[in-house]
Amino acid sequence: MPGTVPAPGPESAGDASPHGSKVRVENVAVRLGGNQILDGISLEVAPHEFVCIIGTSGGGKTTLLRSVAGLLPLSGGSVHLDGEPVVAPTPRIAMVFQHFGLFPWKTVRTNVEYGLRVQGRVADDTGERVDRLLRIMNLAHCADHYPHQLSGGMKQRVGIARALAVEPELLLLDEPFSAVDAITRELLQNEVLELWERSADTTGMLITHDIDEAILMADRVVVIAGPPGRIALEVPVDIPRPRSARSVRTHPGYPQLRDTLWNALQTGETP
């Protein structure tokens, strides 16, 4: 069973009852190529909660996220979104990948519009919605550029804008900031948090290797140990929002929280 380290202050969003869960992962197991990647993962995410999942390489973090997205078959257990089983990709879930996944023959604008067009959701306000996202993500000046004309950070902004354009109920992010420089990474973190906070209907799950990133962005941090992947620890982040990298590092609860997560990553065990 995963351990939970209590934190002072208000009850965490992650303490919602099963009946109030947006996402419910129940005893999920995944085998790929004869290897057991996940073994008995159970996790609940409350509506509009932002959960970060951290762990060492090969522990099954990305496999868990792809399972939640309906992209991988399960060898055991189940995934539910609002009580409905997720057995295949659904327009209610959007995923941002580590390596952009942009169409090189499409412009920034048409890449962002892509999900809406595939879902047949192009409407009179589509252009306005796309323009708003381009402005928020600082992409308006390059709306007609192609991916080869963009920096890594700009490409990732396009991928994030494309996911948000469909207004997903569940936003899944698989290490979306790992391929950019430190300054761009912090800017992107702030932009994603701002967009998530504005959208009360969107729940977020982020995979990261970075403990500080997880503390900055999460309502709750889940540590995955493996292989095979299992939940070693769940910790609520009791630091007020809105947050910045500076406000997190100067918060009195930060050192103990970071040490707890670091120790769980090193040992793969619940303290």
Q: How many domains does the chain have?
A: 2
Give yes or no: residues 151 and 262 share one domain: no
- Does position 10 have pLDDT exceeding 50, yes or no? no
pLDDT in tens, 17-54: 445 799 999 999 999 888 899 999 999 999 999 999 99
Residue 12's pLDDT is: 36
Give yes or no: residues 88 and 115 share one domain: no
- Does position 6 have pLDDT exceeding 80, yes or no? no
- Backbone phi, then psi, for 25, in 5-degree steps? -105, 120
Give yes or no: residues 210 and 80 share one domain: yes
Q: Are 241 and 200 in contact (CB under 8 A)?
A: no
Domain end among 137, 167, 197: 167
- Does position 4 have pLDDT exceeding 50, yes or no? no
> Which structural domain range is residue 225 located in?
3-92+168-267
Give yes or no: residues 252 and 133 share one domain: no
Give yes or no: residues 28 and 123 share one domain: no
Task: Locate 74 and state its tokens.
Answer: 């399960």
Please state which of the ranges 37-41, 141-145, 157-161, 209-213 shows the lowest mean pLDDT: 157-161
Residue 149's pLDDT is: 94
Give yes or no: residues 37 and 22 share one domain: yes
Query: Which residue is associated with the tokens 């769940």?
Result: 234
Contacts of 182 (CB under 8 A, 6+ apart): none
Give yes or no: residues 34 and 77 share one domain: yes
The pLDDT of 177-201, averaged and rounded, is: 82
Indicate the pLDDT class of residue 207, thresholds 50, 70 and 90.
very high
Contacts of 13 (CB under 8 A, 6+ apart): 46, 48, 49, 219, 220
pTM for the model: 0.84
What CATH number is given to the structural domain containing 219? 3.40.50.300
The pLDDT of 164-182, averaged and rounded, is: 85
- Does position 159 have pLDDT exceeding 70, yes or no? yes
Give yes or no: residues 161 and 176 share one domain: no
pLDDT in tens, 47-78: 999 999 998 878 889 999 999 999 999 999 99
Gap between the Cα atoms of 161 and 185, Å rounded: 15
Residue 175's pLDDT is: 87
In a domain? residue 148: yes
Q: What is the DSSP letter of 142?
A: G
Domain end among 123, 151, 167: 167
Task: Locate 249 and state its tokens.
Answer: 């590092």
Q: Are 253 and 238 in contact (CB under 8 A)?
A: yes
- Strands of the sheet with 35-45, listed across from one edge: 35-45, 23-32, 76-81, 84-85
Residue 82's pLDDT is: 94
Give yes or no: residues 118 and 230 share one domain: no
Residue 124's pLDDT is: 61
- Does position 186 have pLDDT exceeding 90, yes or no? no
Indicate the pLDDT class of residue 13, thresholds 50, 70 and 90.
very low
pLDDT in tens, 91-144: 899 988 877 678 999 999 999 988 888 777 666 667 788 888 898 888 999 999
Give yes or no: residues 87 and 209 share one domain: yes
| More confident of the two residues 181 and 204 | 204
pLDDT in tens, 216-271: 999 999 999 878 899 999 999 999 998 888 889 999 999 999 999 999 988 766 55
Q: Are 28 and 42 in contact (CB under 8 A)?
A: yes
The DSSP H or E segment spanning 214 is helix 211-217
Residue 123's pLDDT is: 65
- The neighbour count for residue 181, using CB atoms within 10 Å, is 12
